[in-house]
Amino acid sequence: MSADDWRLAVGSLWPITAGAVRGTIPLTLLSFVGGMAIAVPVALLRLSRRMALAGLARAYVSVIRGTPLLVQLFVVFYGLPSLGLVIDPWPSAIIAFSLNVGGYASEVVRAAILSVPRGQWEAAYVIGMPHRTALQRIILPQAARVSVPPLSNTFIALVKDTSLASLILVTELFREAQQVAAFSQQFMLLYLEAALVYWVICLALSFGQGRLEKGLDRYVAH
């Protein structure tokens, strides 16, 4: 690696890192919150005894899980304008990523709810709790603890998936690397540097996930 390559790598580290701070991380957080706002209601609808509602939720999950994220992103940004609905790049990315997270996370939440022993429902009913109150105070808190590991993995995967937003002109970590690479023509160097930044972010998140799981484990009887 030449001295010029070192200078380029050091000089490009700040714009790539800034792209992560200003683009990748906010996009991940907003999309994950939006996805969870979709996931919980969809999971509850999947468990509904009303077949029509359960069927709609099942269809949504099937479409999201059965189509590529890139296609979903292009449908929102490039497809909707043909129907007269033009959405800017950032909102388009947040909508597409939120819908995607909602489809996958809803199955995690549903499985977590089903993992709570039936006796918990029965105990709540015995003390006079209605179904909604039992769900809110007894079932969902227990399901939340169970769902933390898979939802953490979903969050970490979303960090990497946000790189696709560069294809609809969202300025984030990977797009910054693309711009510097296009100017310098050092594609391998800049893409490896972007991969390194993604890796560091995911390592930090994995460490936080482990600490969170250990903290939650203290409240579990062994």
pLDDT of 64: 96
Is there a domain that residue 73 lies in?
Answer: yes
Sign of the dihedral defined by the CA atoms of residues 22, 24, 26, 30, in that order: positive
Is there a domain that residue 54 lies in?
Answer: yes
Is there a domain that residue 90 lies in?
Answer: yes
- Contacts with 124 (C-beta within 8 Å, 6 or more apart), sequence order: 133, 134, 137, 138, 139
Q: Which phi and psi angles does 55 have, rounded to 5°? A: -65, -40
- Tell me how far apart the alpha carbons of residues 78 and 87 are, in angstroms, rounded to a whole number: 9
The conformation of residue 49, written as its DSSP 8-state character, comes to: S
**Which residues constitute the domain of residue 98?**
3-217
Both structure tokens of 199: 């890796």
3-class SS of residue 222: coil
Residues of the chain with pLDDT under 70: 1-2, 4-5, 216-222
Is there a domain that residue 101 lies in?
Answer: yes
pLDDT of 8: 77
Is there a domain that residue 176 lies in?
Answer: yes
CATH number, domain of 89, equals 1.10.3720.10
CA torsion 75-90-30-158 (nearest 10°) is 60
pLDDT of 221: 41
Sign of the dihedral defined by the CA atoms of residues 133, 135, 139, 142, in that order: negative
pLDDT of 217: 65
Q: How many domains does the chain have?
A: 1
pLDDT of 220: 47
Is there a domain that residue 222 lies in?
Answer: no
The conformation of residue 167, written as its DSSP 8-state character, comes to: G
pLDDT of 150: 92
Is there a domain that residue 71 lies in?
Answer: yes
Is there a domain that residue 174 lies in?
Answer: yes
**Cβ atoms of residues 90 and 82 within 8 Å:** no
Residue type, 165: A
